Each structure stands twice: as structure tokens, then as C-alpha cells.
Chain A
Amino acid sequence: MGKYMLIMRASDEGRAAYEEMDFTEVIAAMGRYNEQMMDAGVLTAGEGLADAAEGAVVDFSTDTPVVTDGPYGETKELFNGFWILDVASQAEAIEWAKRAPLSGPGTKLEVRRVHGEEDFPADNEWIQKEKQWRQELGTE
């Protein structure tokens, strides 16, 4: 068992195609997908992000951070949202990813394992502090 994050990415064309779609249908398709994962007991979290054009990027390439408005980089592979699944294996996470109601050029789901406590030295004071913060935040 392990936690995996499905990271939704889309290119400009994909994003444009997505915006052409009927919003009600998109919500319904996503809703059905999420419901399947709820029914299977695997969905533990998920969020969608607002338009990257509303965002800002803080760039650390130079000595002092440089802030620019708008999306990160070339907007070829924007990060638009995520799910966190509690599944038996990476193969199962991939199988769920394949079932996402997504389509279009440049539309991708990246599947990444979420670090577990076992990946860090348990006696490190910062790792322990982090645990405490998570408790305060009520997050995982």
C-alpha cells in the first residue's frame, strides 16, 4: 500500500480545448471519476488549480528572487490539479490515471509516489517538527 499523487498537466492547446468543453459535462465526468475512486476506497485528497495566468512565479536563479506575474515557464506543461490516492501499488495508481476523463493534445497525468515517513530519518528534529505542523494544519 502506498500514496500516489496524480498530477494533471496540460499544454496551451489542451487547456484551450478544455475550455471549449461544456463545463457541466466536465464537472459530471470528473464527478463520476471521483465517485469511482471514492467507491473503491482509494481517494484521499484532490484539488484543482485556478488559471495559471492569475498566478505568479518566484524565480531563485539570481541572488535575489525575481517575481514575475503569470504562469511558470513556457506554459507547455502547466500543473492544473492533483489527486492523492491510497492504493496497493504504482501499477494500480497508473491504472486509475488511465481512467481519468481527460483528453486532448498535451494533456497528461504524472504519477508520483508521495513520500512516507519511512523515507526520512525518524530522529531528525525537523522531520519531527514537520509532523507537529501537520497536526496543527490538520493535513497529511
Chain B
Amino acid sequence: MASGARHGVSGVPDARRAVEATWRIDSARIVGALARYTGDLALAEDVASEALAEALVAWPRDGRPRDPTAWLLATARRRAIDAFRRRAGRDDRYAALGRDLAEGQTHAGAAPSDTGETDLLWDPDRIEDDRLALIFTACHPVLSKEARVALTLRVVAGLSSDEIARAFLVPRATVQARITRAKKTLGAARVPFEVPTAADRPERLGSVLNVLYVIFTEGATASSGSDWMRTDLASEAIRLARVLRRLAPREPEVAGLLALLELTAARFPARTGPDGEPVLLADQDRRRWDTGAIRRGRAALARAVGAGRGLGPYGLQAAIAEQHAVARSVQDTDWERIVVLYEALGQVAPSPVVELNRAVAVSMAAGPAAALEIVDDLVAREVLGGTYLLPSVRGELLSRLGRRDEARAELELAARLCGNERERGVLAAKAAALR
């Protein structure tokens, strides 16, 4: 392996970046291996962070070690031994763990760059399980949603508190407090560091997928420009979904989620106009869609379909996104297929928003009258009250049916309810056009 020390010593910022890059690549495996060995994710994260801090001092001073991953793992392990020894007075269990860890160290010598030292922890057969356990633990249902997101970005993606804080537009202290609290919660609930058993797996996997989806939408709803760090969150979620797909290749919903994220992100280049204004799907310049992302998304979706167990909610949303991705225009879109997919989505994950989207698809496939029936049913059931979505769709349908006065009233109502200034302007203009 090339030493590459030149990058490490060419200047402090360069060296710092190199350490951080190593961290991004290796931290999940390091924290995962330590957590498995100590059975304590909080401790593993603490000592791994200490090792990172040490690397930030040592590498610029002494040059990059020959095997940076082994260096970080060995350093973290020494910190763990120290921590265990400190706790040994209180608890014999820690004394034994400390001894075990230290024994491994004496076997192989103490030089931090010696890869042999880490053999005890670095079990190639366990690395994948360790990383999977890390993801499941960071997304444990005992944690709040904010805590799951922060902990996942920290321990699985290897982001710093600063990066997470910038991405979520919150102070760094808030992120640190969330992570500290999350680690305490896991400890207090005695959450074991392991891949969940088959019985728990569907629910636990659901939580993991939800966390990745939340990270993605947090980034996807951000606009470009000064929000660059927020849009990077979407890329981060895709990267995590790719990692998870490799770790859990037989879970169709993992492939389904990856497909949904890739196919959604494929539209990002076209979703804002020259002045940063949002461009609706119907008006997007489809030539600007990222064809590579579409290709990857379709490949992932084919995997999900190929599992032969039927598509789940993410897979079905991906299948809908695929129909848009392959259509040259709105007119060219297979709306009948989309209606069928929305029907299936309504079966596995019923929600008024899905019904409303189905109504829009029906209006494209079969005309506004059929769609209005679905929308009127939603109105009668008094769901989706208080949001502008229902009156805006109903107003559109009425307008297409030539019922101008009713359409105008609905669109005016939608404009009043809409929280987004730009969209409110569009709705008001549509209403005014019906006078």
C-alpha cells in the first residue's frame, strides 16, 4: 500500500482533512468492532472519538501511519482499556474486560501502527455484523427520532457534531446533547449491541429505513445555494442506503428505499429554476435529470421486485418514481400504471396523502370526474383538514370540469392555508384566473 505521507505532512489543514477522510471511511467499522467487544456503544463511541482527537494531533506531527485504520483501532482500544481499569474498582466485569483487551495487546506488541495488535477486535467475519448491529442500535426505537438521526450520522456516517449541526441548522451544543442523551438512553434501557433476532427484525428494520428516509427528506427539502450542507444530507442518506443494501442484501425494502432515494435525487438538478424557485414535476426539464442516478435506482428496484415477496411502501413509491423517470413527458407517462401502484401503496400503507396522490393519478388516467369522487370521499371523511393540499387538488379538478365558481373558492381556500409563500402566490393566481 502506498504510504502517501506527503499529504499528511504538507500542512496542518491538509493533514487534518486526511485524518477526517480516514475517519469517514473507517469509523463505522472501528466503533462497530469496539462496541461488539465491549458490549457498550456509548463507551465505544467515546474512545473512538478520543482516538480521532489523538490522530488529529499525532498524524500532522509524526506523519500518517502506514495503516491508519489499525492505528485508530489500536489507539481506541488502549483508551477502552484505560476506561475499564478506571471502572474496575466499581465492577468486576470491567476488570475482566480490561484484562482481556490488554492481553491481546501484549501478545502483539504495543506499537500503535502494528496491525497485529488489533487482531483481537478486527475479526473479518464479524465486520459486517458489527456494522449492521451499529446501524440497528443507532436507530433503536427506544430513542427519539432526533436522537436516532444524530446518532446514525455520527457513528454510522462518521460526521462530526459540527457537520451535523450545520446540516440541521441547530447549534453544535444541541447535537452534542442529543448524542450524549441518546447514549445514556441506550445504556439505561440496557439495549444489547447486536443484530436483532428474526422476530424483532421487521420492526427494527422499519426504524432504520425510516431514519434514512428522514435524513434524505431533510436534505431534499432544502434548496440549493447557502444550504449546500443540507442538500448534502440527501447524498449522505443515499450513501447510507447503499451501505445498508450491501449489509442486508436479502431485504427487498432496503433495495426499495435505495431505489426511491436514487430516483428522487435524480430529479434534483431540475427541481429549481434559475432564481431558486421550485419547479413542479410537470414543468421540469427532464433532460436535466441525473440519468446515472435513474439507472442505479432502477437497478435497485429490479432487485426489490426480484425478491418475489411483493413490494413494500418504499418499493412501491420507488416504482411510482420509476414511472416518472422513464417517461419523456407528463403526457407520455403511464398514469394507469401509477394508479395501480398507488392502489397497492394504499393497501400496504393507507394514508389520506396516498389517497390524494392516487386521485391526481386517476385524474391523469381517467379524467377529473373519477378523481373528484376520491377527493370528495376524503372531504366527507374529514381527513386532511387544515392542509392546503386537499382544496388545491379539488380546485384543480373542479376547474378542469368547468365548475369555475367552486374551483375558485377551493383555490382561494388553498391559498389561505398554504404556508409557503411562493406556492401561495401560484394558488392565488390560479384562483384569480377563474374570475
Contact = CB atoms under 8 A, between A and B. Distances in A.
A49 interface: no
B292 A139 contact: yes
A86 B2 contact: no
B384 interface: no
Contacts of B291: 134-135, 138-140
Interface stretch (A58-66, A71-79, A89-97): A89-97
B188 interface: no
Contacts, number: 80
A95 B288 contact: no
B80 to A, nearest CB: 24
B114 interface: no
Given A91-B17, A91-B20, A135-B287, 16 more contacts: A40-B25, A40-B239, A40-B243, A41-B238, A41-B241, A42-B239, A86-B235, A91-B14, A92-B25, A95-B18, A95-B21, A98-B7, A99-B1, A103-B2, A122-B274, A128-B287
Contacts of A140: 290-292
A19 B295 CA distance: 35
Contacts of B240: 41
Contacts of B7: 94, 98
Contacts of B239: 40-42, 86
Given A1-B235, A134-B291, A94 B246 contact: no
A20 interface: no
Contacts of B128: 39
Interface in B200-238: 232, 235-236, 238
Interface string B282-297: 0001011111100110
5 contacts: A41-B243, A88-B24, A89-B24, A95-B21, A102-B2
B81 to A, nearest CB: 28
A128 B427 CA distance: 30
A138 B7 CA distance: 36
B22 interface: yes
Interface of A: 1, 38-42, 44, 86, 88-89, 91-92, 94-96, 98-103, 117, 122-123, 128, 131-132, 134-135, 138-140
* Minimum-distance CB pairs A-B, first 8: A41-B242, A140-B292, A91-B17, A1-B235, A91-B21, A95-B21, A41-B239, A98-B4
A42 B28 CA distance: 15
B232 A1 contact: yes
Nearest to B15: A91
A91 B241 CA distance: 22
Contacts of A117: 269, 288
B141 to A, nearest CB: 24
A41 B246 contact: yes
Give the size category of B's interface with A.
Answer: 35 or more
Contacts of A132: 287
A43 to B, nearest CB: 9
B17 A122 contact: no
A86 B296 CA distance: 13
Nearest to A107: B2
Given A42-B239, A140-B292, A96 B25 contact: yes
A109 B289 CA distance: 31
Contacts of A95: 18, 21-22, 24-25
Pick from B25, B239, B296 the residue with the most CB of A within 10 Å.
Answer: B25
B235 A138 contact: no
A40 B245 CA distance: 10
Contacts of B242: 41
Nearest to B28: A40
A12 B60 CA distance: 34
Most buried by B among A38, A39, A96, A117: A39
B244 to A, nearest CB: 9
Contacts of A128: 285, 287-288
A92 B23 CA distance: 9
B288 A131 contact: yes
B246 A38 contact: yes
B4 A122 contact: no
A96 B292 CA distance: 22
A122 B246 CA distance: 35
Nearest to A89: B21
Nearest to B20: A91
A95 B65 CA distance: 13
Contact of A91 (B18, B235, B236, B290): B18
Contacts of B295: 138
A140 B294 CA distance: 10
